[in-house]
Structure 1
Amino acid sequence: MILTVLLLIGLLPGPGVTASKENIAVRSRAVQSSTYNELADAEHAVDGNIDSNYMRGSCTHTMPETDPWLRVELPGVYKITSVTIFNRGDCCSERIHGAQVRIGNSLKNNGNENKIVAVIGPMGSEVIKTYKFKATEGRFVNIFLPGQRKILTLCEVKVYADEIFDPKSFYLHDKEDLDNIALRGTATQSSLHSSEISAGFGLPLNAIDGNRNSDLMKGSCMRTQQETSPWWRLSLPRRYVISSVALTNRGDCCSEHVDGAEIRIGDSLENEGKDNPLCTIVSSIPAGQTEHYNCTDLLEGSYVTVVLPGEERTLSLCEVEVFGLPVARCGFLV
């Protein structure tokens, strides 16, 4: 009975799935969207050498291009539970910011449409970063960097499967398995646009009413005044481990009003919650669309703040959805 339950929730491999506690990427086949020069081969990502100096010949490097990628082709299908990225240490550490880790069995669009299990955030001086997530079946592990004139460069990719279950180490990316906890909270924002005070539009609670209608005048969007670093904040009734946040942008106009927004999660109200740990940075969201953002780390807190840095900015969006699990006082998930 216990074995059956573990198989169902993905903690043990099922039929046809290989189990391993070793780095299963080493000496696997690796390919990338382009190769910069003779030092930049994709195979350097799986050669077992974690030297972070590009000139020593153990790092990868694509040409500047749109949506560069690197794919590791594992020797079999695994229930993958974590991926470790070794970034460049000699220079250019910011180039990997925003890269997506995707896992699956499809080679459609070179594997770049497989499931997202993590998004690589700013690594700063860190060279090594491990991303843990719910067991995800696949043979192909892609590092996909969306955007124009991007360069994907890194020095090693390690892949692990069948690791010991630890709820707090998981990236809870399967939003279909989690409730939208934003519906349980209350909301406030830095200001209310003057044209909407009497009409009741643009209110902070409009962003957590469960309605993704993207027309401001339909009464389900929030909007601030034009000001310095406007913000919107969700207050949850208790602390949660939060893995992902979804934002719905306006569709009637002004889709740029969310460009560059920061999503921050934590327990502090200092500086209105704008100094809490960073979940992710929103580059842009198409008009009227909903985008899901996986935090680069599991973050705990009772406040989710969306802040738009800069002067003379207006923050406007139509729904904020937050996915995670509550934290008990002892520090374990309940």
Structure 2
Amino acid sequence: MRVFFRSLSLLLGFFSVQIKADEKEVNAAGWGTASQTSIAYDWYPQKAVDGNPNTYTQVPTQNNPWWKVDLLKVFIVNRVVITTMLFCCSEWMNGVHIRVGNVSSDVFSNPICAVISNIPLGASYSYSCNRMAGQYIFVISPGIYKGLILAEVKVYVVYPGNLAAGGSVTQSSTYTSWIAEQAIDFNPGLFSQPWLACSSTAIQNNPWWRLDLGHIYRVSRVVVTNRRDCCPEQINGAEIRIGNSLDNNGNNNPVCAVISSIPAGVSYTYACNGMEGRYVNLIIPGNSRFLNLCEVEVYGEGLYKQTI
């Protein structure tokens, strides 16, 4: 019965939210940092985003108890999925608000995504947020002397039109487990261990990373997210190159932009003004350099059907 509830409710939620063909929907809840008004026992707020519906977080009874996840940057929030505890207290969810916004200090200043009427024990219900933009997702039980128990919260964000989705990548070398694919895994690596979410070459001369889009696109912009944990200066001087040649591993293609610097954990957008190309390279010219990339997004305004 427990599996039935969760499967059925998630299926209904899937059909209630439309995803366009060129979009990618990703659960970003685990990328952020969770907090709540107070903690009961060892039921910590992170347990609501640990991917395990059999662990729980609890806020003791108080006025307006809330739980929050900070995604660390603004995303387009498509939907939020709430899973209740299997054994107790599903009625605590009655009247709970899901709020999405950019105000950390005042929960009620953030717009409402949904108001929960009820969720059965051990069930997962999906609530459409209709592409609300926000960094903070609050789950709050408004009122006097209320409690809050959550088994799992998933926050699905969308990346509209990111051409990097489904592309193939390679890099000049790999530092331990920092593989090239982690730069297009939709996880910007802002909170999780960077070696699980970011790519990096080994230290070498002229390190590079290359994305093969599979077709020739007119690239309008490239978004690069820098690592947050340390060493943001390692990206300084990186060149973004776009074209159709694999001469010198694609590093002879025309330059879209040169990255002067990107602050730690920040995403910068570089306009490429419709440059045509199948390959997107990032290269740092110089001796004894690393190339770290936590996320690379590529957006294009047109597609030529032929391949090279």
TM-score, normalised relative to structure 2: 0.46
Which structure has more relative contact order (CA 8 Å, sep 6+)? It is: 2
The structure that is strand-richer by fraction is: 2
TM-score, normalised relative to structure 1: 0.42
